[in-house]
Structure 1
């Protein structure tokens, strides 16, 4: 309802759309795509070099598997460069394919011990998973990567006369790299989410602030992935508390803050999860909704009456709605809705307050 980013805790559940939109809003989506493509190309080049190595694959089947792995990663790199950002489902398929390709490639080597350094590719995929897909998929990935690494270690012991303690120490390093990089990525991403949350939210009420509201409206009009549906804003409600200054003057600012928090709860409880609710500053709140005008009018009245029943203050509510259209309103249309709703709210105030004024399309 408030459009807040998902939990800022490390090891949180995934919210793929939020992080993709975050990157795009800061012009980082294209660099991220190029980074993913670079990793795919690097793996493909590594696979080609290992095919030329005496320690690489020897049998026709093993050579075919490694060649197919190299080819598929070059194709994946081209997709990252040429195509839009993938949907969450396609991204998960990419992760699954990548870890299977890495594992299959490592088991083509003539000497399992020579394949062990290649387990570092799991760390690259782990960082991607930690950043975009959260803790659950990361745990699955780490278990798979650790299992492949341990199996390669066991095969090395079985097939090669080696220094046991040297290879145990190398196994410890490999598992540490595979696990540490994604885990630290999760921690850093949690810090990023906290920063984004604080910059977009009002500390007093927990609602979106003006900046956060603008960003959330933009996210509704520009979904994270091209295949996602755009959600239009069809109406905007501006809510301003009547004679709120007298509350502060009579009872003090601490009491006024408690009133604002109470009003924020009233507004959010009247709205559904599909509405965007924000505190625009002072005693002014805004609601953006995809509801048609008749239903939005009912919502505005329900909010006004709930505030009136609180017994502390009343509110003037202005409502502006978009004209029925097959197209989703753009940024200029939203600005127009906000301006018209603000003007309607001031007309409600001039008429005595504690009322709703509608400005139709």
Structure 2
């Protein structure tokens, strides 16, 4: 481990632990490591994290070196990979899947001089931060498009795992679609994977067989869009620009851009100002964007999507603003109240109108 990452005695004397390398004192490049749940070629979640890693290298121009491990299963294997990175002298480690939360927290306690950043989780420590995208913002504009374009009044949603991020995104899609189409329904297929093109394609076809003519996904391959293309139906891309895989079916993609956060974190580590936090980035932070909107969309759909995007980006509209009832008829968000980040992180209910139950 190179020094000085920080002076531990000084850190322990402060009320908030701050970790970092003083760039003026460090001779060697800072080492940043990234742990991915899927392959960098998934053209979705892990692909965009790795694209951001390359932006980090470009931005720091030799003063930061990076490494990554892809296709890491969530569980014991993740702990081994994260621990090995820390043992190898990595200064800041980004673990990029919800299921890496407990392994990351465990390794962070063993390596107090290493900075850890975990995506989409909620466990933090003096040397462990969390960060997440406001993906529900992208789901809202997706729901606007889906609600306006469906001819069968049925949206198909391919879901990965029943964690708060996925559940709130399903809710966001449905509420947005309902706001423009009172007759809309949503059918949900849980595939228990982040990346499995075969399972994703199978789920897409089942949903289309059940009448869904617009597909939205919380999985990482372009397989659902490709399935929609074959059947002359429509879909929205997840995490990265998937337009090339389905030129006719593709409505638009909601693209993730992690580079601003990664660059900011590493700058703070280098100058010694890093501190543990729970960071959320969305449209306003430039970490979510609408990519490759299809020219074949009706003009009224384009206008409605961009209007919704601008209202969310400016803060004029917040998707989870009450009154909102769950699908048991219980008031879960009071009239006029917008869910805080802490409340958004614990969403475990479907909104009123979703005729389904959340898997246990």
Same fold (TM over 0.5): no
TM-score category by the smaller chain?
under 0.3
Where is the strand percentage greater, Structure 1 or Structure 2?
A: 2
TM-score of the pair, normalised by structure 1? 0.26
Select the structure of larger CA radius of gyration: 1
TM-score of the pair, normalised by structure 2? 0.26
Where is the helix percentage greater, Structure 1 or Structure 2?
A: 1
